[in-house]
Amino acid sequence: QQSLSTSFMVDKGNRRHFMEKEIHEQPEVISHTLAHYVDFVSGKSKPLDLPFDFARIGRLALSACGTAYLAGLISKYWFERYARLPIDIDVASEFRYREMPLSANDAAFFISQSGETADTLASLRYCRQAGMKIGAVVNVRESTMARESDVVLPTLAGPEIGVASTKAFTCQLSVLAALAVRAGVARGTISPDQEKQLVRELSEAPRFATQVLKLDEQIERISRELSRYKDVLYLGRDTNFPLAMEGALKLKEISYIHAEGYAGGELKHGPIALIDENMPVIVIAPHDRIFEKTVSNMQEVAARGGKIILITDAKGAAQAGIKTMETIILP
């Protein structure tokens, strides 16, 4: 199956730039990608022709650069939580210099939009020399990384022209989420009922993405306000910690504004010293089992005059009890 279709012509259409166009393509490409790996009707993950058995490996190594690395870091939580599979992940530029013990009985996946990222390709070859089974999550099926892997799991994002990755990132997450479900099924840590529930939740992602895109007017207003500042801090916990780092990376790449992403629990270990009325703090905090801990972080920020932009859901917005500069309510 090709990673592009006739609807993904390399033309920005009526959009202001390719990045805007690619952001708005996400509901469609997420749907295409997920449908490649899960069956929405039966509620099952589709069998994959992998060169290894998830039930027999002791760990899975992941490596990538930039945004792709952060997609892998988010998936670490999923693999370990749902499949009980230990994950060893590092940025590709450091991966092969750690001299970590590698086993031919284990597997490694490498994540890259282009499939040509030099450091990631070098890490792939490093693991290949150790005899590990190799998989690639790439957007270009004909890439070097795809050719040198034992198995290719394509992201069906279509051409990504914008310099900052958007739709490729969410498609990478889609592939890795489906792969984590498959791993859990293979390892017996996910029951048939749990599998159906997880696939059902994945099937909602395109609809949720469509709803989020309807917030573009609010997002643009907030963006104009943020452009006045020189520094921005992002905070998140659990899977929202890597997502906070991704937000900071995007802001740096696109606006040239200094931004950092931190785990919420690390706020008191340094970053809090920088917070004042000139430091917007973007907090990603859906109402979940650790929501109250993140609320505590927001209270610390507010006490120092920091301007909070809260990204949450309706329940989180209702229960946060914190004055914010803006609150973005997600589905």
Q: What confidence category does residue 11 fall into, taking pLDDT thresholds of 50, 70 and 90? A: confident
Q: How far apart are CA 301 and CA 308, in angstroms?
A: 8
Q: Which residues are registered as beta bridge partners of 284?
A: 236, 311
Query: Quick one: tokens of 192?
Result: 């048939």
135-175: per-residue pLDDT in tens?
999 999 999 999 999 999 999 999 888 889 999 999 999 99
| Radius of gyration over every alpha carbon of the chain, rounded to an integer in angstroms | 20
Cα dihedral sign, 312-250-23-176: negative
Reduced to 3 states (helix: H, G, I; strand: E, B; else coil), residue 301 is helix
Q: What confidence category does residue 271 fall into, taking pLDDT thresholds of 50, 70 and 90? A: very high
Average pLDDT value for residue range 60-74: 98
Q: Which residues are registered as beta bridge partners of 235?
A: 262, 283
Q: Domains for the chain: give ranges and CATH numbers.
A: 18-212 (3.40.50.10490), 215-330 (3.40.50.10490)
What are the E-state strand segments in 74-192? 87-91, 107-112, 133-138, 151-154
Average pLDDT value for residue range 50-57: 96
- Pairing state between β 133-138 and 107-112: parallel
Residue with tokens 């597997």: 107
The residues, any chain, with a CB within 8 Å of residue 141's CB and separated by 6 or more, are 2, 3, 152, 154
Percent of the chain with pLDDT over 90: 90
73-128: per-residue pLDDT in tens?
999 999 999 999 999 999 999 998 988 899 999 999 999 999 999 999 999 999 99
Q: What confidence score (pLDDT) does residue 19 get?
A: 86
Q: For the whole prediction, is pTM greater than 0.75?
A: yes
Average pLDDT value for residue range 236-247: 98
Model confidence at 3: pLDDT above 70: no
Average pLDDT value for residue range 28-38: 98
Residue 285 · residue 239 · CB < 8 Å: no
What are the E-state strand segments in the chain? 38-39, 44-45, 60-64, 87-91, 107-112, 133-138, 151-154, 231-236, 258-263, 280-284, 307-313, 326-330
Q: What confidence score (pLDDT) does residue 248 get?
A: 98
